[in-house]
Amino acid sequence: MMSVRNDFNASTPPARSGGGCPAPGGRLNLLLSYAGWRTESWVDQLPRLLEPMGVQSLRAGTGREAKDLIQANPIHIAVVDLGLPLDGSAAAQDLTEGGSRLLELLARLDAPPPTVAVKRHQSARDDSRELSDALRLGAFAVIDRPSCTRDLELLLEVLRRALSRFYAGRWPHALNIPHPPSS
């Protein structure tokens, strides 16, 4: 990701706790939710690109997993797949509710993080409805699901803009962003 200020380029490694979860005080926690089935997708590539800069990627495959991650970790930026299932069940209502519920949960936080919503490929009417719902729920940006390197570069640029706009070109931990309440 391109830097806004030089403090993005410092090489201090992020703190880690056991189990692969980031320790509080890392540079930036990025929540990544993904409803796709492909291996080596954007959600697999993005953490490898961002980790050397101290960005910790917290991955969720369901809305419930994302909720647990939000309760256990400060989230500085979230990428929400709108096709995310609510949980692992096969119930029809759970197949896509997780994304919109996750947007609602993030919007209700004391310090809502900037959120990038990832659209599903749908009809024009459904696409328009999904776009307006995501923006109404406070999404910073809405993008198509990345499928190639060019799309991944677009997502990186959106993340860079979110850092610049919401964190004034500084790493969030330096700004004393409040952590979510512990449960």
| Residue 33 host element (H or E) | strand 28-33
What average pLDDT does the structure give for the chain? 77
Instruction: Quickly state the pLDDT bin for 90 (edges 50, 70, 90).
Output: low
Query: What would the pLDDT profile of 120-134 be if each residue is shown by its tens digit?
Result: 777 788 878 888 889
Contacts of 19 (CB under 8 A, 6+ apart): none
Percent of the chain with pLDDT over 70: 74
Q: What's the pTM? A: 0.76
Q: Which domains does the chain have, with CATH numbers?
A: 28-174 (3.40.50.2300)
Mean pLDDT calculated for residue range 27-51: 87
pLDDT of 80 strictly over 50: yes
Give the residue ranges of DSSP H helices in 62-138.
63-72, 97-108, 124-136
CB 102 within 8 A of CB 66: yes
